[in-house]
Structure 1
Amino acid sequence: MHRLSPNALGALFMSLSMLGFASNDVVMKTVSGGMELFQMVFLRGIAAVLLIFALAAWQRALRPRITRRTALILALRIIGETAGAYLFLRALFAMPIANATAILQVMPLAVTLGAAAVFGERLGARRLGAIAAGFAGMLIIVRPGTEGFDMNALWAVGAVVFLVVRDLSTRALPPELPSAFVTLCTALGMLALGAVGTAAQGWTPPPAGAPLFLVLAAVLVLGGYYFGVLSMRAGDVAAAAPFRYTILLWAMLFGALVFGELPDAPSLFGAAVVVAAGVYTFRRERALARAGHVAAAELGGAAATAADGRGGATPPPPPPIHDETPPRPRG
C-alpha cells in the first residue's frame, strides 16, 4: 500500500475538516425542530467550553499575558464570532443547508477585500475582478428582487459580515497569543450568548436525546478545527486550501439525503461561480507571495555579490523557502 504524499494528506485532512463542520450543521438543523436556538447554543456551548478548556489546560495556555490593545481586539473577535454564528444558524434553520453554506463561501473573498481596506493590502485588477465575480455568484444564489428570493438568505449575508470582522480581528492578534486561549474565549462568548438568550426566552425541557446530539455537534466542530490544523501542516497550503470548498459537496449531499433538499439550477451556478472565484483568488495570492520571496532572495544574492566584490566574505545562502509552512491556527 502506497503512502499518501504530504499534499494528498493535506487535501484529505481539509476534506475531513469540512465534513466535520457540515456534519455539525446537519446535527444542529436536525435538533432545531424541537428546541429554541438560544437553548441549543447554550447546551452546545457547555460541551464546547469543557472540551476546549481541557485542551487549553493541557497546552498550558490558560494564563497568557494580554495587553489592553490585545484584549480589545479579542473582544471584537468574540463579537464577530458570536454574532456571525447566531446569524448563520438562523439562516441554516430556515433555508436549505446547501444554499446557506454556499453564501458563506464568499467569506474568503470578503476577507481579502476587508484586509485591503483595514490593513492597506494592495489588490490588483485580477483579484478585484475575482472578488466581484464571487459577490455576483452570491447574488445569483440570493436572487434579491425575484420570485426565488428568500428573506432568510439575508441572515447568511449578515453572518458573512460579522465573520469577516472575526477573521480580520484574528489577523490583528499577536502571534504569541495561544490559539487554544483564543478559542476558549470565543466558546465562552457563545456560551454567554446562549445563556442570555435562554434566560430571556425561558427554559423548555429539551426533547429526549437532544443534549447528546448537541454534545456530538460540539465534538464535530472541534474535529473540524483539528483536521483543519492538520491540513495546514501536512503539505503545501496551496494544494489543500481549495478543498475547503468540499463543504459545499457535503452540504448538498446531506441536504438531499437527510432533509430532501435539492438546490435549483441558479443556486448551483452561483455556488460554482463563488468557488471558482475563491480558488482563483487564493492561487493568485500564493503566486504573488512566491514572487515576493523570489525577488527578496535575488535582491539578497545581489547584495551579497556586491559585498564580496568589495572584499567582504561571501555569506551563506539563504535557507530554502517552504510553501507548506502553515499559518498560525485561527482559533
Structure 2
Amino acid sequence: MQTGNVLRGVGLMCIAIALFSCLDATAKYMASVLQLPVAQVTWLRFVSQFLLIVVAVGLVALPNLLRTRKPVHQSIRSLLMLGSPVLNFLALRHLRLDQTQTIYFLTPLVVALLAGPTLGEWVGWRRMLAILVGFIGILVVVRPGHVPFHPAMALAFGSMLCYVVFLLLTRYLAEYDTPQVTLFYSMLAGALLLTPFAIADWVWPPDALTWLLLFSMGFWGGVGHYLVILAYRQAPASTLAPFIYLGLITHTVAGFAVFGQLPDTWTLAGAAIVIASGIYLVHRERVVAMRRAKT
C-alpha cells in the first residue's frame, strides 16, 4: 500500500473524528442548554443527513440505495445506529463530553472481544489482557463507590455497546453492499421511526441560528461517517485504529470552547489507561498479522 494513500487515509480519519466531536457538542448544546427534546434533536440529525444524501446523489439515483443484498442485517444495523445516538444524547444532558468520550474509548476493545465469536477473529491472551486493562480504565472514570453512579453513565455504556454491534455489522456488510448503500441505511430507521416522537414532543426552535445548528448535525454525522468509510479504503485498519483516541482531544477542546468544561484528574487518568491498552492491542494485532504473512 502506497505511503501517500496511507497518509491520506489518516488525514480523513482525523477529520472524521473532529466532525464527530462537533456533532456531540452540538447535540449537547441543543439538549442541555436549549432543552430541546432528545427525540426531536436526534430526528433532525437523521433527516438532515437524508437531505445531504439526496443533494449528493440526486433524486433519480436515490432508489438504487435501497437495493441491498442483506436487508435484515442492514435493518438491524440501522436500528443500532438509531439507538446509539439516542442513548448518547440522553447521556450528554448530564455528563461532560470528555466523560462520554472516554467510555466510548472502550469500543475498539469490546470489538476485539466480540470479533472472535461473531467474525471468527479470535484474540490471544495478551490482547485479552489489554481488553481487561481498558475496562479498568473505564472504572477509573466511573469511580464506583467514590462518587454517586449517575444513571447517565449507563446510557453512555449502552450507546457504546450499540455502536460496537453496529461496527461488527459494518465489517460484515462490507462484503455485500457498497459504502453508499450502507451509509443510506445508517440513517433510515432514525428518520422514519423517530418521526411520531419528534412531532409529539416538538419544541419550535427560537431562531434561525438554532435551525442552522440542528441541521448541521446531519453534516457532522453524515460527512464524518462517509470519511471513515473512505479512510478505510486508503489505509489499513491497524493504522487507523489508534486515531479514534484523537477524540479525547477534540471532545475536550469542544467541551471547553462551548461549555467551559475541562476534564478532571480521574477522567484523564482513566482515559490514559484506556488509550494505553488500545495502543497495545493494535500493536499485538500488527504482530499477529506479520506472523501470518511469514507463514
Structure 2 length-normalised TM? 0.89
> Partner letter of residue 182 of structure 2?
V
| Aligned match for 1:62, one of 62, 65, 72 | 65
Aligned to 2:202: 203
Q: What is the root-mean-square deviation in Å for CA atoms of aligned residues? A: 2.2
CA distance in structure 2 between the aligned counterparts of 1:285 and 1:44, rounded to whole angstroms: 35
- 2:7 and 2:119 map into 1 onto residues whose CA distance is 33
Secondary structure (helix, strand or coil) at the match of 1:62 reads helix
- SS across alignment from 1:95: coil
Match of 1:243 in 2: 243
Measured after TM superposition, the shift of residue 123 of structure 1 is 1.6
**Partners of 1:21 and 1:224 within 8 A in 2:** yes
Question: In the TM superposition, what whole-angstrom CA distance separates every residue of 1:195-241 from its partner, at most 9, and x where no partner exists?
Answer: 13224x43221121222112212112223224324433444544433
SS in 1 for 2:268: helix
Shift of 1:114: 1.2
Q: Secondary structure at the match of 2:261?
A: coil
Report if aligned partners of 1:40, 1:194 keep a CA contact under 8 Å in 2. Answer: no
Q: In structure 1, the residue corresponding to 2:102 is in which secondary structure?
A: helix
One-letter amino acid matched to 1:20? L
In structure 2, the CA distance between the partners of 1:281 and 1:25, relative to structure 1 (3 Å rule), is same
Range that drifts further, 126-135 or 30-39: 30-39
Q: What is the alpha-carbon distance in structure 1 between the residues aligned to residue 169 and residue 5 of structure 2?
A: 30
> 2:87 — aligned with what?
87
Q: Is the 8 A contact 1:56 1:180 kept in 2?
A: no
Q: Is the 8 A contact 2:54 2:62 kept in 1?
A: no
Matched residue count: 288
* CA–CA separation in structure 2 for the residues paired with 1:251 and 1:52: 26
Q: In the alignment, is the contact (CA less than 8 A) between 1:43 and 1:211 conserved in 2?
A: no
- What secondary structure does 2:170 align onto? helix
2:130 counterpart of 1:130:
yes
Q: Which residue of 1 aligns with 2:16?
A: 17
Q: Equivalent residue for 1:299?
A: none
How many angstroms apart in 1 are the aligned matches of 2:179 and 2:7?
26
Change (3 A) 1:264 1:65: closer
Deviates more, 1:14-23 or 1:127-136: 14-23
Distance across 2 between alignment mates of 1:224 and 1:294: 36
How high is the sequence identity, in percent, across the aligned residues? 28
1:44 alignment counterpart: 45
Measured at CA, do residues 48 and 164 of structure 1 come closer, stay the same or move farther in structure 2, by a change above 3 Å? same
Q: TM-score, normalised by structure 1?
A: 0.80
The verdict on how the C-alpha distance between 1:269 and 1:94 changes in structure 2, with shifts beyond 3 A counting, is: same
The answer to which of 88-97 and 174-183 deviates more is: 174-183
Q: Cα deviation per residue 1:156-197 (whole Å; 9 max; x = unaligned)? A: 011112112212222332613122112212212111243132
Instruction: Write out per-residue CA displacement over residues 82-121 of structure 1, whole angstroms, 9 at most, x where no aligned residue.
Output: 1111111111222100111110110111111111232343
The aligned residue for residue 194 of structure 2 is 194
CA contact (8 A) 1:96 1:261 kept: yes
| Structure in which a larger fraction of residues adopt helix | 2
Unaligned runs of 5+ residues in structure 2 are none
Residues 156 and 262 of structure 1: is their aligned pair in 2 closer, same or farther, counting only changes over 3 Å? same
Structure number, greater radius of gyration: 1
- Amino acid across the alignment from 1:84: S
* More displaced stretch, 272-281 vs 169-178: 169-178
Amino acid at match of 1:167: L
Alignment of 1:150-299 (within 5 A): 150-173=150-173, 175-199=175-199, 201-208=200-207, 209-295=209-295
Does the 8 Å contact 1:56/1:62 carry over to 2? no
Determine the structure 2 residue equivalent to 1:306: none
| CA distance in structure 2 between the aligned counterparts of 1:138 and 1:76, rounded to whole angstroms | 27
Alpha-carbon offset, residue 281 of structure 1: 1.2
Distance 2:281 2:267 in 1: 21
Q: Once the 2 structures are TM-superposed, how far is the Cα of residue 59 of structure 1 from its aligned partner?
A: 8.9
Contact 1:14 1:241 (8 Å CA) reproduced = no
Partners in 2 of 1:205 and 1:59 — Cα distance?
30
Give the stretch that moved more between structures: 166-175 or 258-267: 166-175
Offset, 1:290: 2.8
Contact kept, 8 Å, 2:68 with 2:181, in 1: the verdict is no
CA displacement 1:32-80 (0-9 Å, x = unmatched) = 22211111122222211121244455698424353xxx22211221222
Structure 1 stretches (4+) deviating beyond 6 angstroms? none
Q: For the Cα contact (< 8 Å) 2:79–2:190, is it kept in 1?
A: no
SS of residue paired to 1:187: helix
